[in-house]
Amino acid sequence: MAVMRIGHINIRVLDMGAARHHYENVLGLLPQAEDAAGNVYLKGWDEWDKYSVILSPSDHAGMNYVAYKVQHDADLDLIKGRIEALGREAEMVAAGALPFCGRALRFNMPSGHLMYLYAEKEFVGKSVGVTNPEPWPDGLKGAGAHWLDHCLLMCELDPEKGVNKVAENEAFFREVLEFRLTEQLMVGPGLVVQAAAFMTCTSTPHDIAFVGGPQMGFHHASFYLDEWSDVLKAADVMGKNKVKIDVTPQRHGITRGATIYFFDPSGNRNETFGGLGYLAHPDMPVITWTEEEIGSAIFYHTGELKESFTTVYTEGI
């Protein structure tokens, strides 16, 4: 059984025209399709499946769901059985229920966030092709994001009430979906409360992350860039387009990535994430950050945690 990678994320937007300008001209994603309901499908130039982002018109911002791709169609049946063995619900939906995809498995994470798994999606290919490809295509717009890299989800955390959906999600992803924990933030007396978990199903530092907060929600979707200079250029593009920036170019302690946090016109947080950070091989020991170093863990240069990072986010379902 293998969950291979993140497949796509479905984001709700308030103004489709403004959202399309942001995702196409600021991030540089490429439009692929639009359906009768007004949903817009986009991909990065370095991605080969039909889309990695769905923008859905709505009267409230947030995330509808996130979907990951498994290696084999039979993996869906295996995972469905594992979920149901825990007494949790999982539903197999027919091909086409996820647009341009084969059949898919639908379920909720312990945190309440909706997730799909699928094995098949329409193939369109990279913008540079696969025969004698150039390093990048001509005509890229904005930041020229390569691909959807990961998402971070806010999970309810209230130690006084014995609620820790970060830890529940971490255990579920590790035991049921075979993700690996790469880094964690431990807080509280004795450092026994897992307040953040970064998990991978590939060899990157994280393919999904969970951070504790007062209620569940959607923190950000992240888009990959090559290196620090590309992150700086992305900041220039955001300045030109008057994008609301949450955190100007920084380095993470966790994952070591170079980052900018910013908001789309609907208030959904995005990230441009530059550089690999490190290779998260299966035998890599888990990296633990402690409460007194939380500032450096998130924003290594300043060593200070910006309040909005954990208090400002949109709905997660």
> pLDDT (tens digit, 9 = 90+) per residue, 114-135?
999 999 999 999 999 999 999 9
| Confidence label for 215 from pLDDT (cuts 50, 70 and 90) | very high
What is the pLDDT at residue 147? 98
pLDDT at 97 over 70: yes
What is the pLDDT at residue 317? 82
Please state which CATH class domain 3-118 belongs to: alpha beta
To the query of whether residue 72 is one of the catalytic residues in this protein, the response is: no
Overall average pLDDT of the 88-95 stretch: 98
Q: Which of 206, 219, 224, 313 is catalytic?
A: 206
Q: Which of 146, 220, 224, 313 is catalytic?
A: 220
Q: What distances in angstroms separate CA 188 from CA 95, 213, 289, one per listed residue?
A: 46, 14, 12
* pLDDT tens sequence across 132-145: 999 999 999 999 99
Q: Of 3.40.50.20, 1.10.10.10, 3.40.50.2300, 3.10.180.10, which CATH number belongs to 148-311? A: 3.10.180.10
Q: Which two tokens stand for residue 112?
A: 């309440």
Overall average pLDDT of the 221-248 stretch: 97
CA distance 40 to 187: 41
Q: What distances in angstroms separate CA 65 from CA 34, 44, 153, 291, one per listed residue?
A: 18, 19, 11, 30
CA distance 118 to 102: 7
- Domain ranges in the chain? 3-118, 148-311
Where does residue 37 fall: left (phi above 0), alpha (psi -120 to 50 degrees), or beta otherwise?
A: alpha
Q: Which of 41, 116, 224, 261 is catalytic?
A: 261
Burial 258-289 (b: 16+ CB within 10 A, else e): bbbbbbbbbebbbbbbbbbbeebeeeeeebeb
| Confidence label for 197 from pLDDT (cuts 50, 70 and 90) | very high
pLDDT at 74 over 80: yes
Amino acid at 133: P
pLDDT at 1 over 80: no
CA distance 14 to 16: 6
Q: Which of 150, 156, 183, 313 is catalytic?
A: 150
Asked if the domains 3-118 and 148-311 are classified in one and the same CATH topology, the answer is yes
Q: What is the CA radius of gyration of the chain?
A: 19
pTM above 0.95, yes or no: yes
> CB–CB of 216/233 below 8 Å?
no
What is the pLDDT at residue 308? 86
To the query of whether residue 146 is one of the catalytic residues in this protein, the response is: no
**57-60 — which CB contacts under 8 Å span 24+ positions?**
57/12, 57/13, 57/14, 57/16, 58/12, 58/13, 58/14, 59/14, 60/12, 60/14, 60/315
Overall average pLDDT of the 5-11 stretch: 98
To the query of whether residue 150 is one of the catalytic residues in this protein, the response is: yes
| Confidence label for 92 from pLDDT (cuts 50, 70 and 90) | very high
**Chain centroid to CA 183: how far?**
16
